[in-house]
Amino acid sequence: MARRSGRRPGNPDTREAILNAAREAFAERGFDGSSIRAIATSAGVDPALVHHYFGTKEQLFQATINIPFNPGELLPQIAAGGVDGAGERLVATFLRVWDSPAGTAGAALLRSAVNNEWSARLLREFVVTQILRRAAGLLDLDPAQAPLRTSLVASQLVGLAMARYILKLEPLASAPAEEVVAAVGPTMQRYLTGDLSGPTGGGSGASPGRSRTAGPTETG
Amino acid sequence: MARRSGRRPGNPDTREAILNAAREAFAERGFDGSSIRAIATSAGVDPALVHHYFGTKEQLFQATINIPFNPGELLPQIAAGGVDGAGERLVATFLRVWDSPAGTAGAALLRSAVNNEWSARLLREFVVTQILRRAAGLLDLDPAQAPLRTSLVASQLVGLAMARYILKLEPLASAPAEEVVAAVGPTMQRYLTGDLSGPTGGGSGASPGRSRTAGPTETG
């Protein structure tokens, strides 16, 4: 129904007011705790206008942080082949985005997150709710382990972006994508599906500090 | 001979002039290409004074970037048990530094590297010459593979710092150190000593893009 000409619709001031209200809401109350209705109220507009300008709550969130790719499109592609090989596909997709002109926007995003706590909160909320949680669902990870697994994945991907594109550590900075996928893909795969209890591999409880994630099985 | 009272010796202006000259030299010409003599000349002081204030060239470099730990002390501890288990010791040591008050200085260092290219260059040069190269030597890594291996290690460590301390992604941000060591240690170990040619493990040259590191054996 609405114009789909590729041009951004609407009054720029109104758009900006909605985006500011949305940024504040997502950073302060999180994605789940924010509603289009509350954002509209705080921007002084009708909720229908927010939907008209930005679409769904997910699309509004994406517009607030100016992320250079759409996780709603990329994640299903990565997950399409199942969890086997997802580690390699994840790294390959990540490099394809960062090696493209979109990488500049990614670097800007990291910069602003590093520079202020508020941007860091917004990015963290986006990463957790729009990327990691969706990926965990698509890959059918055990919900009890998914948060640790996906945050480990995120740590290696953020580090890859830092080392390759921002610190420009050689030879990682100019290695062909295939080489990086081969080196880092298995790390991703292990974080997604492997044993995370250490190199000895056993669940024999070698380290007392590790019981935190053991769950409620041994309460007796 | 010099005062070792723990108080920093010397005229603060002279110290600052030396540090500025050193920062410029290390960022522009690298660690190997910089000499105490040239730094002294550019700061307008006698080389002996640079040694007197800062000690060795390594110590001067460390003073310029305000890094909150001494790689010259920590790396030999990590390497002491040999390359087996070095991955876990590396992560454990990294977390010990970052979980301590020194972590604040580490975060400031990352911030400044992300914010300006000049700080990024200085940090990169420090990481490569003072940390990765030394670690590769102490662990006796194959010199042909050491740069890729150690830059992969650096990528995961920087990412761990970003995810745990700056973005504060849960549950990684508040997981006990032991749990993080168990999860991330094997990644470090694989980067240091494992097969980096991908999950199929073979050297059968499956990917054409990978020949870049194959070396000059097949020139005929």
The full set of domain ranges for chain B reads 12-65, 71-195
**B194, B135, B151, B143: which is closest to A172 by C-alpha?**
B151
Q: Which residues of chain B have pLDDT under 70?
A: 1-10, 199-220
- For chain A, say whether B175 makes contact (Cβ under 8 Å): yes
- For chain B, say whether A181 makes contact (Cβ under 8 Å): yes
Per-residue model confidence (pLDDT) at position B207:
40
Q: Which residue on chain B is closest to A125 by alpha carbon?
A: B169
Kindly determine whether residue B152 and residue A183, on different chains, have CB atoms separated by under 8 Å. Answer: yes
B89: exposed, middle or buried (Cβ count in 10 Å: 0-12, 13-18, 19+): buried
User: Which residues in chain A touch residue B123, judged by CB atoms under 8 angstroms apart?
Assistant: 167
Q: Which CATH class is domain A12-65?
A: mainly alpha
ipTM over 0.90: no
Q: How far is the alpha carbon of A8 from chain B, nearest alpha carbon, in Å?
A: 31
What pTM was estimated for this model as a whole?
0.80
Please confirm whether the linkage preceding A171 is cis (ω < 30° from 0).
yes
- When scoring A121, A155, A212 by the number of chain B Cβ atoms within 10 A, the one with the most, hence best to mutate, is A155
**Helices marked H in B101-196:** 102-115, 117-126, 133-138, 146-161, 177-193
Asked whether the beta carbons of A119 and A110 are under 8 A apart, the reply is: no
- For chain B, say whether A30 makes contact (Cβ under 8 Å): no
Per-residue model confidence (pLDDT) at position A10:
67
Mean pLDDT of chain A: 84
Mean pLDDT value across residues A26-54: 94
Tally C-beta pairs within 8 A across A and B.
193
Per-residue model confidence (pLDDT) at position B65:
86
Kindly determine whether residue A158 and residue B159, on different chains, have CB atoms separated by under 8 Å. Answer: yes
- For chain A, say whether B106 makes contact (Cβ under 8 Å): no
Question: According to the CATH classification, is domain B71-195 in 3.40.50.10140?
Answer: no
